[in-house]
Amino acid sequence: MPNWYYDKKDLRNTPSARDGIDYETERRYRKEGARFIMEAGATMSLGHNTVATGVVYFHRFYMFHSFRTFPRFVTASCCLFLAGKVEETPKKCKDIIKTARMLLADEKFQSFGDDPKEEVMTLERILLQTIKFDLQVEHPYSFLVKYAKCLKGDAAKLQKMVQMAWNFVNDSLSTTVSIQWEPEIIAVALIYLASKLSKFTVVDWVGKKPEHLKWWDMFVQDVTMEILEEICHQVLDLYQPAQSESAPSKSPPQLPPSKASPPMKRANISPITSKNSPNIAVKNSLPPLPPTEVEANPIPKHITTENPHYPYPPYPMHPVPPLMPQSHGPPPPYGTMPPAMPPQPPQTWQHYQHPNANKYYPPGPPPGRNAYYPPQ
C-alpha cells in the first residue's frame, strides 16, 4: 500500500510550489477546497465520514497535481462524488453540481466550464489513478469515541470535552494533518487540546497500568509531546485572523474546459515508456527535478488512455479457416462446382414389433378406462 503521510519538507515541495504558488497561498486553496466539501456535504445531508473521506482525497490529490492545472472547486466536487460512493452514501453528479452552483459565486463556478458533469466525471478517472485506487480511509472520529469511553471523571465535563474535541476534528480537515499523521495520533492530540481548553484533567482511565505515564500510552506508543503540540498548533492557527487580508481570493488564471484543453489532456497523459518507469509525462516548460527530490516510490501522477498490461488485441488472433464449397445454389465466380448428387428414391421404413410387447402392454384400452373416460 502507498504511504500517504508526508513531512514538512514534502508539503513545501508540492507540484503547486514548483508551479509558482507560494506556501501560504496553497494552504489557503486547500482550506477553501476543504471548506467547500464540508459545506456541500452539510447541504446534501451527507455523514461526517463521507465528508472527511472527500477531504482526504482532496489533500492527497494535490500532493501530485498543481492548483494551476486543476481548479480546486472542480476537484473538490469530484472528491465528494467519489467519497459518496465509497462510503455508501452516493449522490448524483448533477446534484453535487447543483449544490456547487448554489454555494459558489459565478466567478468561481466558471472553472466548471460549459459541461460541468463531463468535467467532474472525467476528472474522477484522474483522481482514482492518482490515489492508486486506495479508497478506504480511516478517520479520527472512531478513535475519539473509543478513547473517550475509557476516560473517567465528571460526566458533564467529560461530555463537554469530547464535544469540543469532535469539533476540533471537523476543523482539522481544513489543514494537512490528515496527510501528516495517523488518525489515532490526531485523535489523541485533539483530545489533549480539548482537555486543556476545557480545564478537564484526565487522572484516571479504564485499563490504567503503572507503566502508563499518560492516558494515551495504552493506545499509541512513541508519541512525543512535540508531535501533539504540532497538531494542536495547526488546528489553533485556523482560528487566527489572516495575516494578509488583501490577498486575492480567486484561483490562479484558469480557463474553462470549453476554451482550454480537457482535464485528460491537462494531465499530460502519456503511455508508459518502459517496464520500470512510472507513468509520468514530463512537461517541457518545467525544468527537471534534481535526484534528491524524487520520491522513493512515486505514485503515477497521470493516467493513460492505453493499457500497457493488456495491449490490443488481448489474445492472439487465429486465421479464419477457408470456406468449403457449397453443393447447392449458383456456381461461385471463381470456378465450376462438381455435379450435385442425383436424387435418391424415398426409403421405406419397416416396423419391427418387440417380441414382449403384448406381455406388458395388452392390446386395447387399459382396464377400467370406460368407467372414467368416455369411449373415444
Q: Which residues contact 236 (CB under 8 A, 6 or more apart)?
A: 193
Query: For residue 195, what are the CA distances in angstroms to 171, 217, 314, 332?
Result: 17, 16, 60, 94
Q: What mean pLDDT comes out for the span 225-245?
A: 85
Distance CA(64)–CA(257), nearest Å, equals 21
Least confident piece of the model among 1-15, 43-57, 187-201, 330-344: 330-344
3-class secondary structure, 334 = coil
Q: What mean pLDDT comes out for the span 122-126?
A: 95
Q: How far is CA 63 from the centre of its chain?
A: 15
- Mean pLDDT, all residues of the chain: 77
Distance CA(217)–CA(223), nearest Å, equals 8
CATH code assigned to 140-237: 1.10.472.10
Q: DSSP states of 172-192 as a string? A: HTTSSGGGTS-HHHHHHHHHH
pLDDT of residue 346: 72
pLDDT of residue 250: 53
Who wins on pLDDT, 267 or 76? 76
Same-fold call for 8-131 versus 140-237: yes
Q: What mean pLDDT comes out for the span 153-178?
A: 94
Q: Where are the domains of the chain?
A: 8-131, 140-237
Q: What mean pLDDT comes out for the span 191-209?
A: 90
Who wins on pLDDT, 28 or 287? 28
**Residue 174: band (very low, low, confident or very high) from pLDDT cuts 50, 70, 90:** very high
Q: What mean pLDDT comes out for the span 91-108?
A: 94
Phi and psi at residue 151, to the nearest 5°: -85, 145
Out of 2.60.120.430, 2.60.40.1170, 1.10.472.10, 1.10.10.10, the CATH code matching 8-131 is 1.10.472.10
User: What is the pTM (predicted TM-score) of this model?
Assistant: 0.68
Q: What mean pLDDT comes out for the span 179-208?
A: 92
pLDDT of residue 19: 93
pLDDT at residue 315 is higher than 60: no
pLDDT of residue 201: 87
Dump pLDDT digits (tens) for 331-353.
555 555 556 677 777 766 665 56
pLDDT of residue 257: 44
Reference 20, options 187, 236, 253, 203; nearest CA is 253
Query: How many other β-carbons are positioned within 10 Å of the β-carbon of residue 251?
Result: 18
Distance CA(108)–CA(100), nearest Å, equals 10
